[in-house]
A and B are shown apart, each in its own frame.
Chain A
Amino acid sequence: EVQLVESGGGLVQPGRSLRLSCAASGFTFVDYAMHWVRQAPGKGLEWVSGISWNSGNIGYADSVKGRFFISRDNAKNSLYLQMNSLRAEDTAFYYCAKGRLTGTTFFDHWGQGTLVTVSP
């Protein structure tokens, strides 16, 4: 059974940093692209970032480009999101999502999300 477990969320002040992690199990992690998707409370889904199986293809939403950085450790079956210079508008649930394909892809499994709150 595919499992994706996010961690690292919490309350953080504007301008500070936070690192999210996603622990994956139940599938061959190295074979698939992985993504982060966020959802502000009561709002719609927003794709944040994605990384191909070998980290050779990485993409970011314009809203986070230059502030957020995605990475993966295939030996540890883990996905990360380093979030710097956080803003109030970054407040959201952050979901880790498994791609069906190795590069640009749709998402066939999702974690339960971790809440990031950016507030003074």
Chain B
Amino acid sequence: AIWMTQSPSLLSASTGDRVTISCRMSQGITNYLAWYQQKPGKAPELLIYGASTLQSGVPSRFSGSGSGTDFTLTISCLQSEDFATYYCQQYSTFPHTFGQGTKVEIK
């Protein structure tokens, strides 16, 4: 199985900040990586797939980068609705795996 290390687990930030979340794989997955946002009591929502392709309807302040083993999610200018938990997910092989999650909270 492919192991994933997502960091940080908790990120305190203010509205307007630029934030980055990292996801590292135990082996290369080319660009088979997705990012999701989850708010309390809700199902996750797809933000980015193919490491850098923005899902339709997702604001352009979200971006993804990386390939192989190291990936990054960036929110360029944090808005109030962005305070949530973010997960990376690899879909290169079964079993698919998720990162441990990063909670973005208000500083």
Q: Is A54 an interface residue (CB 8 A)?
A: no
- B residues within 8 A CB of A45? 36, 38, 44, 87, 89, 98, 101
Q: Which B residue's beta carbon lies closest to that of A101? A: B91
User: Interface 1/0s, chain A 82-120, versus B by CB < 8 A?
Assistant: 000000000000010000100011111011110000000
* Bound form: Cα–Cα A76–B60 in Å: 38
Q: Which A residue's beta carbon lies closest to that of B42? A: A112
Number of A-B contacts (CB under 8 A): 61
> Which listed residue (B1, B96, B100) contacts A50, Cβ 8 A?
B96
Q: How far is the CB of A5 from chain B (nearest CB, A)?
A: 12
Given contacts A61-B95, A62-B95, A113-B43, contact A47 B100 (CB under 8 A): no
Q: How far is the CB of B44 from chain A (nearest CB, A)?
A: 6
* Bound form: Cα–Cα A50–B36 in Å: 18
Check A110–B95 contact: CB distance below 8 A: no
Q: Which B residue's beta carbon lies closest to that of A35? A: B96
User: Interface 1/0s, chain A 16-49, versus B by CB < 8 A?
Assistant: 0000000000000000000101000000111100
